[in-house]
Structure 1
Amino acid sequence: MATERGTWNYRDRFGDSFGRTYFRRFPPGVAGSVGIGTYLGEPTDAVDNDYRKAITTALDNGINMIDTAINYRCQRSERVVGDVIDTTAVSREEIVVATKGGFLPFDDDGPNDPGRYIREQYVEPEIVDPETLVRGSHSIEAGVIDHLLDRSLSNLDVEAIDCYYVHNPETQLLDRDPEAVYDSLEATFELLERRRAAGDIGCYGLATWEAFRVEPGAEQYLSLPRLLDRAAQAAETVGVDDHGLQVLQLPFNVEMADAFRRATQPAPPDADEEGSVSVLEYAHAVGLHVVTSASIGQGALATSLPPAIAAELAGDTTAQRAINFARSAPGVTAALVGMASPAHVAENVAAGTFDPLGASAFDAIFE
């Protein structure tokens, strides 16, 4: 598992190569504010090899946050991450590893009949109750997450995962009553608190797409204070002092700036004023870390940014400016970028050599 000393040692080796605040606090110590994602690509040996090279290059050049999920590329992304961790010269204690569970994963290169595969691999062995499946492949029930977490530990070949996300929990709201979804999440938080106490995970979080960007009352809306209350109740039930819900992952980029622009959450505790605030403001106020996904729009923003915004951002390339937009947002800890080749790594990690915008300068972009 990553440790405070290990991640700070990593920072000390690379810190002078980067701009101001490139390394930021992240449990249990620090992490670079550019992280490597492993979502894109076909489930093939060739893509596996590209990812091995890219992740190794990332670790060797100042990126120590690796983000994956059990369903990415039919479990291949997790296994590639595990291969690199096993062979890299970088210590495991220096690497922040995050993965996710919620979507039932296929294996290897995917089945010809996905429905049959889900039935034979998950329903018939009673790993998942079909009544809790949404859209045929998504479940956040505690027993399912317990199973998926064990499989992720095996895929990654690590003793512990530093941050474990419940993956797109708002998917459940497409077919289920909101109160039932909150109840399921509380039960899963209890499970994750027990796994945290056992040393299997360092902390947990919610990796979302719609949940915190849409208005209250929207079909896939989730209330952050309600979720935190459920996490606190789960911790109390398990008998631990402080809950381990410490991280949010959500999409954020120049074209998807709802997490900053849209007031979707109530005013945080002890706020000076009543009213609603953005999820970034709420998360910052209560001490949650935010990690951005789709930081360059899955590649779409690597070649084109609105000129007025690009002019405010530092970077030698459009991709670097897009990354620096995401990691400059107040309350953001790290921006994830998919990197499937060493060339992508070299360009993207170099974004960290430029200072991010200050909070007031970032605010000015939206005035």
Structure 2
Amino acid sequence: MATSGGTWAYRDRFGDRFGRTFFRRFGPGVVSSVGLGTYLGEPTDAVDDRYREALGTGLETGVNLVDTASNYRCGRSERVVGDALQESSVDRDRVVVASKAGFLPFDGERPDDPSAYVRERFVDAGLVDPADLARGSHCIAPGFLDEMLDRSLDALGVDTIDCYYVHNPETQLAVRDRDAVYDQLGAAFETLERRRAAGDIGGYGVATWEALRVPRGHDAFLDLAEILARAEAAADRVGVDDHGLRAVQLPFNVRMADAFTRERHDADAEGGPVSALEFCHREGLSVFASASLGQGDLTKEGSIPESVEAQLAGDSPAQRALNFARSAPAVTAALVGCSRVEHVRESVAAGTFDPLGASAFDSVFQ
């Protein structure tokens, strides 16, 4: 697992190449504020090879954060991350590895009949109760999470995953009410607290798409204050002193800035609701920004509003977009796809520029 000594040693090796605050505190140590994501790409051997090379390049040039999930690219992404970790000269204790569970994964390729695959591999095998399924593809029941975590550890070839996310819990809102989903999260967190106590994970989080950005009345909304309360209660039930909820993953970029601009969380607190980023900053939760390049849309000239782009440092739109995401309060790292070596090199170079200071970042929205 990533350790304080290991990650600080990694920072000492590479830190002088980058601008201020490129490495930031997370867990027991520090992590680069640019992370390598593994979501996009076809489930083919050719894409595997590109990812393997790109991940190796990132690890060898200053990025010690890798983000994946059990379902990414039909399960191939976790395996490729495992290959890259094994092949790299960078020791495991220097790298923060994150993965996720929630969506039922395929095994290497898309089946001709996904419904039949789910029924045979998960329902008939006793791994998933149909009552726990949402949209025929999503489950966060304790037994399922246990199984997926074991599979992720095996696929990655590691003893410990540093941050294990409950993946898009808002998917469950399609089939049950909000209180029931909070109950599900509480049961999931209890499972993850037990696995944390066993040393299988360093901490856990929630990785979302809509839940933390949409209005409170939206069908997909989940409140961070209630999520945190469920983590605290889960820790109490397991009998540990402090909960292991460490991180939140959500989309954040110059065109999807709701997590900073919209005050929707902890509505019952004195002073009223706050934004997702402000809540995380207040409670000491790390935020990992997905879609920091808008899944490629922000890599094009003119994609960033001129008034904003003028304040951002970087040699390309992609670098300036990354540096916008890295500048937001509570954001520990901006995640970027890494299926090509040239994209990784460009993203790593973004860290040689300083992010915006707090006042400059605030002024973007005035």
Q: Distance in 2 between matches of 1:94 and 1:268?
A: 40
- Two-structure CA RMSD over aligned residues (Å): 1.0
Q: Which residue of 2 aligns with 1:281?
A: 278
Q: Which residue of 2 aligns with 1:174?
A: 174
- Report the alpha carbon displacement of residue 56 of structure 1 after superposing the two structures with TM: 0.1
- Normalising by structure 1, we get a TM-score of 0.98
- Give structure 1 stretches of 5+ with no counterpart: none
- Normalising by structure 2, we get a TM-score of 0.98
Deviations along 1:102-137, one digit per CA (max 9) or x if unpaired, are 000001112110000000000001100011110000
Q: Which residue of 1 aligns with 2:42?
A: 42
- Report the alpha carbon displacement of residue 42 of structure 1 after superposing the two structures with TM: 0.1
Q: Which residue of 1 aligns with 2:27?
A: 27
Q: Is the 8 A contact 1:11 1:30 kept in 2?
A: yes
Between 217-226 and 8-17, report the one with greater CA deviation.
217-226
Q: Distance in 2 between matches of 1:240 and 1:309?
A: 45
Q: Is the 8 A contact 1:267 1:282 kept in 2?
A: no
Letter in 2 for 1:299: G
Q: Which residue of 2 aligns with 1:205?
A: 205
Q: Which residue of 2 aligns with 1:105?
A: 105
- Report the alpha carbon displacement of residue 266 of structure 1 after superposing the two structures with TM: 2.4
Q: Distance in 2 between matches of 1:105 and 1:316?
A: 38
- Report the alpha carbon displacement of residue 87 of structure 1 after superposing the two structures with TM: 1.2
Q: Per the alignment, in what secondary structure is the counterpart of residue 14 of structure 2?
A: helix
- Report the alpha carbon displacement of residue 164 of structure 1 after superposing the two structures with TM: 0.1
Q: Per the alignment, in what secondary structure is the counterpart of residue 219 of structure 2?
A: coil
Q: Distance in 2 between matches of 1:182 and 1:365?
A: 35
Q: Which residue of 2 aligns with 1:13?
A: 13
Q: Per the alignment, in what secondary structure is the counterpart of residue 202 of structure 1?
A: coil
1:156 aligns with 2:153: no
Q: Identify the match of residue 293 of structure 1 among 279, 290, 295.
A: 290
Q: Which residue of 2 aligns with 1:134?
A: 134
Letter in 2 for 1:358: G
Letter in 2 for 1:52: R
Q: Distance in 1 between matches of 2:273 and 2:164?
A: 29
1:334 aligns with 2:314: no
- Report the alpha carbon displacement of residue 217 of structure 1 after superposing the two structures with TM: 1.9
Deviations along 1:150-183, one digit per CA (max 9) or x if unpaired, are 1101110111100000000011011111111111
**Counterpart mapping for 1:1-367 below 5 A:** 1-266=1-266, 274-303=271-300, 304-367=303-366
Q: Distance in 2 between matches of 1:251 and 1:307?
A: 21
Q: Distance in 2 between matches of 1:215 and 1:209?
A: 13
Q: Is the 8 A contact 1:268 1:282 kept in 2?
A: no
Q: Distance in 1 between matches of 2:329 and 2:313?
A: 16
Q: Per the alignment, in what secondary structure is the counterpart of residue 117 of structure 1?
A: helix
- Report the alpha carbon displacement of residue 268 of structure 1 after superposing the two structures with TM: 8.9
Deviations along 1:17-75, one digit per CA (max 9) or x if unpaired, are 00000000011200000000000000000000000000000000100000000000011
The share of aligned pairs that are identical, in percent, is: 63
Deviations along 1:254-297, one digit per CA (max 9) or x if unpaired, are 1100000111112696xxx6122101001100100000000000
Letter in 1 for 2:275: S
Q: Is the 8 A contact 1:268 1:285 kept in 2?
A: no
Q: Per the alignment, in what secondary structure is the counterpart of residue 89 of structure 1?
A: coil
Q: Distance in 2 between matches of 1:108 and 1:207?
A: 23
Between 217-226 and 42-51, report the one with greater CA deviation.
217-226
Q: Distance in 2 between matches of 1:208 and 1:112?
A: 28
- Report the alpha carbon displacement of residue 308 of structure 1 after superposing the two structures with TM: 1.3
Q: Distance in 2 between matches of 1:28 and 1:331?
A: 17
Moved beyond 4 Å, runs of 4+: none
Q: Distance in 1 between matches of 2:347 and 2:230?
A: 37
Q: Count residues in correspondence.
A: 364
